[in-house]
Amino acid sequence: MKNTPSDFGLTMTPHMVTIDWHEANGWGDIHLHKYHDLSLAPHSQCFHYAQGVFEGLKAFRQANNDAALFRAYDHARRFQSSCERLAIPVLGEDVFVDALLTLLKADLQYLPDIREGTLYFRPFIIATEPSLGFYGRAKSFKFIVIACPMSNYFSSTKAINIMVESNYSRSAKGGTGAVKAIGNYAGTILSQQQAKEQNYHQVLWLDANHNKYIEELSSSNIFFVYKDKVITPRLSGSILPGITRDTTISLIQQNNFTVEESSIELQQLINDWYNGDLLEVFVTGTTAGITSVKKIDYLQHSLNFEQYLTAQTLAQKLSDIQISNTPNNQSWLTNLNCHKK
């Protein structure tokens, strides 16, 4: 099974889960359905005011042939933060995880064999109230979970090429860049399309205030490897607090290596590369996993990297944890057959 960004998420599993919310009576029950198209009025608020958020997480086949969600409760808490920021009713952590497990149990046969792939889950919530009135929170919402099998998101390449975006900004402090709002991604599509046409895999965004500090990629966080430390941009209110980012920081610290979260100026990074101090770069994300960077281009500068060892080592450690091949970090897994409400 192979995936590329262009074919990821085309084939869904045969079931889906929904929960409805109405202003009068709050959240309803979890419902499992056959996968089907939605019927929404053209003037539903999600189409016009982007009141919606989503998450992305994976289930893995375990060494004992059980199945487990990876860091499901952390995704649930981030989903809650996203909902709060967009004035969307908050779904309880246990209900969020139970909805995922309901779909995992129904479509377990579509979970790939160990180390051959994963089952990717996309929980999301949208405002379904049919009204063009813009007055605050919508009066009805629908929470939905869908899933698709996948392998490595960048399976066609060992390392990716990145273009630095110098004309547009992804987000600003005080905005919604730190949550998974559906509207965040629309503003990155033009730059992503331009990058694709120039044979880049991803876009690296700078801060909106000064246009000189590194923030993140369109769908990944980024790390820079030096001889004695690893550096990643500090969460500033405009950067998404990635779950894989947090996992990676923990893995680096567990291996007694220094990791710093700080403001990273692009020009200083370029100088470090020319001086031979910057050795390696990698990105992290639910879909990307831990992926090495081959090249970063910015104006006349082209930073090339041939060392991928740190990323490969961390990726192997992460994979071992995700399939219960190590006793470490077992609390990150929510097993299907062992989960108790």
CATH of the domain at 121: 3.30.470.10
Expressed as residue numbers, the domain containing 98 is: 15-150
Q: Which of 235, 301, 228 is nearest to 268 (CA)?
A: 301
Lowest mean pLDDT among 42-56, 77-91, 110-124, 271-285: 110-124
Q: Is 262 exposed, middle or buried (0-12, 13-18, 19+ CB in 10 A)?
A: exposed
Number of domains forming the structure of the chain: 2
Cα-Cα-Cα-Cα dihedral of 202, 208, 210, 211, to 10°?
Answer: 20
Q: Which of 260, 261, 265, 259 is nearest to 206 (CA)?
A: 265
Judgement on whether residues 170 and 140 belong to the same structural domain of the protein: no
Q: Which of 22, 280, 69 is nearest to 159 (CA)?
A: 280
Separation of alpha carbons 171 and 188, rounded Å: 10
pLDDT value at residue 4: 56
Residue 330 binned pLDDT confidence (cut-offs 50, 70, 90): confident
Judgement on whether residues 238 and 263 belong to the same structural domain of the protein: yes
In a domain, 174, yes or no: yes
In a domain, 58, yes or no: yes
pLDDT value at residue 154: 55
In a domain, 266, yes or no: yes
How high is the mean pLDDT of the chain? 93
SS3 267: helix
| Token pair listed for 77 | 């808490």
Region label for 50, one of left (φ > 0), alpha (ψ between -120 and 50) or beta (otherwise): left
Judgement on whether residues 36 and 129 belong to the same structural domain of the protein: yes
Please state the pTM of the whole predicted model.
Answer: 0.94
Separation of alpha carbons 134 and 136, rounded Å: 6
In a domain, 190, yes or no: yes
Judgement on whether residues 166 and 143 belong to the same structural domain of the protein: no
Pick the last residue of a domain from 119, 150, 181.
150
pLDDT value at residue 324: 83
52, pLDDT greater than 80: yes
pLDDT (tens digit per residue) in 72-115: 999 999 999 999 999 999 999 999 999 999 999 999 999 998 88
In a domain, 45, yes or no: yes
Phi, psi of 131 (to 5 degrees): -165, 140
Judgement on whether residues 178 and 282 belong to the same structural domain of the protein: yes
In a domain, 164, yes or no: yes
What CATH number does residue 178 fall under?
Answer: 3.20.10.10
Phi, psi of 245 (to 5 degrees): -60, -50
Angle between helices 93-106 and 72-85 (to 10 degrees): 120
Judgement on whether residues 272 and 145 belong to the same structural domain of the protein: no
Judgement on whether residues 271 and 221 belong to the same structural domain of the protein: yes
Question: How many CB atoms are located within 10 Å of the residue 23 CB?
Answer: 12
Angle between helices 243-254 and 72-85 (to 10 degrees): 140
pLDDT value at residue 329: 76
71, pLDDT greater than 90: yes
Judgement on whether residues 120 and 244 belong to the same structural domain of the protein: no
SS3 295: strand
Judgement on whether residues 90 and 210 belong to the same structural domain of the protein: no
Judgement on whether residues 168 and 117 belong to the same structural domain of the protein: no
Judgement on whether residues 72 and 130 belong to the same structural domain of the protein: yes
In a domain, 332, yes or no: no
In a domain, 88, yes or no: yes
Residue 341 binned pLDDT confidence (cut-offs 50, 70, 90): very low
Judgement on whether residues 185 and 277 belong to the same structural domain of the protein: yes
175, pLDDT greater than 60: yes
Pick the last residue of a domain from 84, 118, 150.
150
